[in-house]
């Protein structure tokens, strides 16, 4: 009977386990292959033993030795021969990371190995340990300066999640069940500033770069909301950037939701009523061809406005709002006259 753990040179220690007639009993230092790389001194000892004779005494000694070997192996091997997590974690390098609140792992992007081969090896070892620990989703953020590590992560099974100017985010779902990691952002948010002065003129612009059907079309200032920016703040900013007009947010008067727009994402567009605080226009030469104050009636009569149901509703809301303001002013005026009459 022979149990071989590793193939390396050994030296005999027949008395280590109290075996008198063992013809071959060896203890030796070795290396073991884990996660595709050699890790030195992983195991404290490796044993080879052989049955020396068929005598009952020797068999008992050999069986006793086998028991001690099994006991020693149980500290090295886990369930069904798997490496125990406690011994693995003490002797295997893993990527610097911390646990998230959902049972997953977030790799520290500031402490990644710079050598691609070292990264590939440690990443593989880390995945083994995270699987043993029952982790779920793995988030791996690779900064632009570590872009050469992306192919190694993809080879391990990581998938693209999203990318920004300075990094790419990859994920890995460990459990054999549907992935519960949230998807990338699905919407982009745009804003438009509907600015009307006390002359019932609308602040409009012509874009320098636009599709042929929009050439010559006068539109309200529009743009995308920036990261961490409020909708109303984005509307005020866009108007200022494109026309130089300072405004004050009044209310959101309409919004629309459209699918499969830029980059196959959904699009949310909010139109904000803004009160002008200045009148002098300063055109942004980078993206705006012209800007002006345009009578509301002329603005509404443009063909593209007539074909746009949302803008028709915006105009209706604005007119209803102005009529309401007029009625309130008229009511207040009549109330003031009545009060003056009573006082007299």
What are the C-alpha distances in Å from 175 to residues 28, 34, 125, 133, 140? 38, 22, 17, 11, 17
Shared-domain flag, residues 168 and 193:
no
Residue 108 belongs to some domain of the structure: yes
d(CA 240, CA 246): 6
Backbone angles phi, psi at 292, to 5 degrees: -165, 170
For residues 215 and 287, membership in a common domain is answered with: yes
Least confident of 118-122, 152-156, 264-268: 264-268
Contact 74, 43 (CB under 8 A): no
Could you give phi then psi for residue 102, rounded to 5 degrees? -110, 20
Q: Are 197 and 274 in a shared domain?
A: yes
Which tops the pLDDT comparison, 78 or 251?
251
Domains held by the chain: number: 3
CATH of the domain at 160: 3.40.630.30
Q: 113, 143, 173 — which closes off a domain? A: 173
Closest CA to 220 of 257, 198, 259, 247: 247
Residues 119 and 229 placed together within one structural domain of the fold: no
pLDDT digits (tens, 9 = 90+) for 31-68: 333 333 333 333 433 333 333 334 444 444 444 444 44
Residue 130 and residue 20 share a domain: no
pLDDT tens by residue, 126-140: 999 999 999 999 999
Regarding whether 66 and 32 lie in a shared domain, the answer is yes
Domain end marker among 32, 59, 81: 81
- What's the DSSP call for residue 182? P
Q: What is the pLDDT of residues 297-342, one digit of tens each?
A: 999 899 988 888 877 788 888 778 777 766 665 566 556 666 655 5
253 with 301, same domain: the answer is yes
High-pLDDT (> 70) share of the chain, %: 67
| Cα separation, 49 vs 30, whole angstroms | 16
Q: What's the chain's Rg over C-alpha atoms?
A: 37
Q: Residues 330, 332, 335, 340: is their CA dihedral positive or negative?
A: negative
3-class secondary structure, 50: strand
State how far the Cα of 288 lies from the Cα of 209, in Å rounded to an integer.
Answer: 8
What is the domain-level CATH number for residue 218? 3.90.79.10
Co-location of 294 and 239 in the same domain: yes
pLDDT per residue as tens digits for the range 75-111? 433 333 333 333 444 457 899 999 999 999 999 999 9
- Indicate whether 242 and 158 sit together in one domain: no
Domain contains 336: no
pLDDT of residue 312: 79
2, 46 contact by CB (below 8 A): no
Residue 210 lies in a domain: yes
Residue 2 in any domain: the answer is no
Task: Tell me: do 109 and 163 sit in the same domain.
Answer: yes
Domain limits at 292? 187-310
- Any domain includes 339: no
Residues 203 and 281 occupy one common structural domain = yes
Is residue 119 domain-resident?
A: yes
> Among all chains, which residue has been given the structure tokens 């500290």?
75
Q: Are 97 and 112 in contact (CB under 8 A)?
A: no
Q: Which two tokens stand for residue 112?
A: 């990644």
Strand 187-195 relative to strand 266-276: parallel, antiparallel, unpaired?
Answer: parallel
278 alpha carbon, distance to own chain's centre: 41
Residue 4 belongs to a domain:
no
**Between 285 and 106, whose confidence is greater?**
106
Give the β-pairing of 247-258 and 266-276: antiparallel
Say if residues 69 and 103 touch (Cβ distance below 8 Å): no
* Rama region for 340: left / alpha / beta (φ>0; ψ in -120 to 50; rest): alpha
Instruction: Say what the alpha-carbon torsion angle 101, 102, 105, 109 is, to the nearest 10 degrees.
Output: -60
Residue 67 in domain:
yes
Q: Are residues 97 and 191 in the same domain?
A: no
Does the model's pTM come out above 0.85? no
DSSP secondary structure code for residue 52 in this structure: -
Distance (Å, whole) CA 223 – CA 270: 10
CB proximity list for 143: less than 8 A, separation 6 or greater: 109, 112, 166, 167
Tell me: pLDDT of 213 over 60. Answer: yes
Token pair, residue 129, equals 């340990």
């Amino acid at each position: 009977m022979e149990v071989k753990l590793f193939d390396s040179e050994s030296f005999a220690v027949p008395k280590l386990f109290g075996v008198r007639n063992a013809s071959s009993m060896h203890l030796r230092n070795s290396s073991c292959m884990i996660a595709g790389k050699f890790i030195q001194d992983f195991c404290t000892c490796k044993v080879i033993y052989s049955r020396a004779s068929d005598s009952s005494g020797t068999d008992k000694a050999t069986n006793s030795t086998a028991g001690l070997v099994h006991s020693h192996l149980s500290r090295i091997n886990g369930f069904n021969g798997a490496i125990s997590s406690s011994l693995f974690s003490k002797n295997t390098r893993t990527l610097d990371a911390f646990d998230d609140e959902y049972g997953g792992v977030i790799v520290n992007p500031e402490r990644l190995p710079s050598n691609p081969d070292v990264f590939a090896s440690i990443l593989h070892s880390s995945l083994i340990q995270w699987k043993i620990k029952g982790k779920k989703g793995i988030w791996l953020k690779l900064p632009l300066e570590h872009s050469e590590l992306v192919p190694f992560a993809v080879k391990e099974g990581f998938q693209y999640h999203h990318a920004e100017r300075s990094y790419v985010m990859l994920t890995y779902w460990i459990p054999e069940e549907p992935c519960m990691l949230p998807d990338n952002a699905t919407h982009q948010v745009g804003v438009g500033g509907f600015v009307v002065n006390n002359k019932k003129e609308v602040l409009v612009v012509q874009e320098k770069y636009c599709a042929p059907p929009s050439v010559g079309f006068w539109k309200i200032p529009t743009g995308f909301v920036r990261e961490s920016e409020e909708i109303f703040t984005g509307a005020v900013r866009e108007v200022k950037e494109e026309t130089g007009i300072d405004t004050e947010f009044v209310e959101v008067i309409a919004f629309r939701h459209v699918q499969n727009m830029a980059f196959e994402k959904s699009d949310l567009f909010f139109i904000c009523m803004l009160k002008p605080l200045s009148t002098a226009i300063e055109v942004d030469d980078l993206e705006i061809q012209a800007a002006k104050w345009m009578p509301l009636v002329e603005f509404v009569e443009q063909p593209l406005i007539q074909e746009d149901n949302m803008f028709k509703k915006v105009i209706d809301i604005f007119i209803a709002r102005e009529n309401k303001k007029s009625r309130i002013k008229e009511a207040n005026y009549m109330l003031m006259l009545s009060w003056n009459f009573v006082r007299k």
